[in-house]
Structure 1
């Protein structure tokens, strides 16, 4: 029998919510989330106003301290995991509860943002029912969703004897190398879990309904090195001088555009440097080039991003790209190499089942059913390192827009909605 519960009136919501098929304990959990809505936004504001660009290690640790204090208060055993100094990353926050009741859960978030200390992007700024700021939706909002869901469960006495691990990484936006070191602790936690949930931002469909992520494309890269014959510019196109490195690089990239594109496959040449002297610093993502207009360029370096749904698609793209690179213009040569960063997250029956249960929890709480967002629409995320080992779901954090841009913002009310969904879902998984 369905029953309706009158929603608490908060500054975020002055409407009546219909909660379907919620138990008395679940109704209490919902009430605890709503009672904390204003305080939750205060926690988010504190974290957003600390710059935590990936390379700002002190800032990443400071944000970690904010969330570590909250998790300590909820009875979790917390620790900070430092990374090797050579990796140049701040480390990760891990919190655990040991218990034997229900499913063993791994909850993932990240502390870092793409905005380094010299970023002109503003910090916390309210704009009506939305707020903008550094990492407000990607993904400090998601971290707050985790904290508030767990807090509501704690207040309802529903965390006792549960087995839950929380890991907030300090380098999701630019994972430290080697990945088998920077993600070793995460994978170890996944192997001791039944389900992994990640709290990257919730994507809305065309009708404005919330979705979740059951599959994500890989994040990998390519490096193109092109060589030509340096000489006087008046000789360009001649048999003696050839076409030069810049024209050859342009031919290759346009060949990719014309012959490699297929659904859910993207390749983006993010940096290109050409001239007679070229240098690129991978660590700083910066480069230099020297050349003169009356000299044929003898070198071009291109650094790019390559994303695919599965290894079959990856191998097909690699083969086509290598073939295009091999068709050199006269007087030129080129080579291409590929590197792997984030593995793809395959759409599995297990992931779809987790989505089904999450959607039911949302619908029962009067927040609507949740559909799967097409895998090709999501970028890479930490969930992909654990998805091969455990049933997984991502994209269940706060709702915002403009991630990684000066206009990154967040819908304030989405923190409450996501925390309610998450708290009810975790409660049911851990019974």
Structure 2
């Protein structure tokens, strides 16, 4: 605790720097950065029982899983997107594409949430899709055009007022004139190097030529990294269309990430992607490639001016591969160790919908990767979505959580086999 408090005190000194970076920083962030009360006292609590929860449980009866696995409703969480499980195992923070971050608590440890309420209700969030934790308990939330730091979120979340600071001030993540309603769901992770990695989807279906220089400079349509005090920003990944899922291999430390590919080229092309990055500065093909080796119509006749790393796995077109995590728990059978569990959100522009399932990817010793369905059944026989999985996270007991922004829920998957 002494180390934690000294870290918070040091971050308080950063508050002044954050304020100087933008005049439009909300007043309540100023107050929280200086450990002042905001006057906000009320939380929004989400009912966890009743007809709505029962309806979700009914849907889960139709989900198919490998033998020995079970799925159940963990929490009702409106608009649930990406998740960050606290290192202490106390609370899970859940982002949204709206203006809320939710805290989800299982107080009696029966592996079903008892309480869901909004986190830091005195703050005004803008698309706080991407929460992530450092191992020492610092919570980061990547928004549309800002990254906030909460140095003791698991300690303070019970109060409406929490210690909060700018890591990247409003308007400094991307140029303000590049803000868009499209492809703004950021995700973040802390890498083995201790730096924070943040995805920056580019807003167009295919990035126009006049934007390429700006995109390269800022890392728009890429993944950036920086020190956890906000310094040392650099572009780590180029040629990304819109990545909304990433994680680091537990043994090699390599970055793996999903990418959503170009729309409007047909039902079956281009493929989605699961990518494997081995060093800084690699390029993954956009906008010259729409997905895999399929060239975009806009750049089809041009010579590709960069060396392109092709995907480790090509996924079914338009399934919308989103959140992912490497499995490091001990609950599942041994062959799932270091496998990737990922969510396919489901297609929106395909004649027959695909996706809406959880996938598992096994990586062989030679590095080749093979993806297959793990949990499916959220598209019924009428082609209607019963749910749309977004992200996968792991609890300390080795079970996994799956978020669903259509149903407004988080599911838990566990293993009961031999």
Q: Which of the five TM-score ranges fits, normalised by the shorter chain?
A: under 0.3
Q: Considering only CA atoms, is the larger Rg found in Structure 1 or Structure 2? A: 1
TM-score after normalising by structure 2: 0.24
Which fold has the larger relative contact order, with Cα–Cα distance below 8 Å and residues 6 or more apart in sequence? 1
Q: Which has the higher helix share?
A: 1
TM-score after normalising by structure 1: 0.24
